[in-house]
Amino acid sequence: MTTTLIWIAVALVAIGLYLSWTAGRLDRLHARIDAARAALDAQLLRRASVAQELATSGVLDPAASIVLYEAAHAARQAEEEQREVSESELSQALRAVFAEPAQVEAVREAPGGEEAARELTEAVRRVPMARRFHNDAVRAARALRRHRKVRWFRLAGHAPFPMAFEMDDEPPAALVDRAA
């Protein structure tokens, strides 16, 4: 009788430790999602700021400046629900404005244009990486949250279900080809 109670207690402690470890892992994944989302937000803001700065610098033709400025402004001012759409529209505007290598060369030849083109190239390259890190963390947390033990024992607590950030983040070919 005593040994049975001891084995039951040992089993309950082992299960408790396992559930605690799983809850801690889930908490770390949620913290990783938060950090990755902050990094993604910073990269998106940087890309929009550089695009907006370039649009107002006078090195682009007026039509391209207006298209780029409006898309960058909309991306910076977007509400959370519309963020993915407005960031995708900024990506499309960047591809439209910098579709031709001649446009990139015109920007580079303008005073201060070399620095602006370099900053924009770096910004458009970092956005896909930041988005990939965020979505990888979301995928890992979702996989863990789908386990029965997590649902049955409510190990996720009141944390919202993590959502991936889906957007068009393909950089303009003329910017990426020139920098490579």
Q: How high is the pLDDT of residue 178?
A: 54
CB 109 within 8 A of CB 155: no
Residue 7 lies in a domain: no
Distance CA 124, CA 126 (A): 6
Task: Tell me how far CA of residue 36 lies from CA of 81, 108, 133, 176, in angstroms.
Answer: 18, 32, 6, 24
Flag whether 120 is in a domain. Answer: yes
Contacts 24+ apart (CB under 8 A), 110-113: 110/57, 110/58, 110/59, 112/57, 112/59, 113/57, 113/59
Does 47 reside within a domain? Answer: yes
Beta carbons of 113 and 59 less than 8 angstroms apart: yes
Provide the domain count of the chain: 1
Rounded Cα gap, residues 170 and 179, in angstroms: 15
> Domain for residue 11, yes or no?
no
Residue 131, domain extent: 22-177
CA distances from 123 to 19, 28, 73, 97, 103 (A): 41, 28, 16, 16, 18
- What is the spatial distance between Cα 118 and Cα 176, in angstroms, rounded to a whole number? 10
- Tens place of pLDDT for every residue, the chain, 180 residues? 899 999 999 999 999 999 999 999 999 999 999 999 999 999 999 999 999 999 998 888 899 999 999 999 999 999 999 999 999 999 999 999 998 888 888 888 888 888 989 999 999 999 999 999 999 999 999 999 999 999 999 998 888 999 999 999 999 988 876 554
pTM over 0.75: yes
For residue 14 the two structure tokens come to 């082992």
Closest C-alpha to 132, from 78, 87, 169 = 169
Question: For residue 167, which phi and psi values (nearest 5 degrees)?
Answer: -155, 165
Asked whether the beta carbons of 76 and 48 are under 8 A apart, the reply is: yes
157 found inside a domain: yes
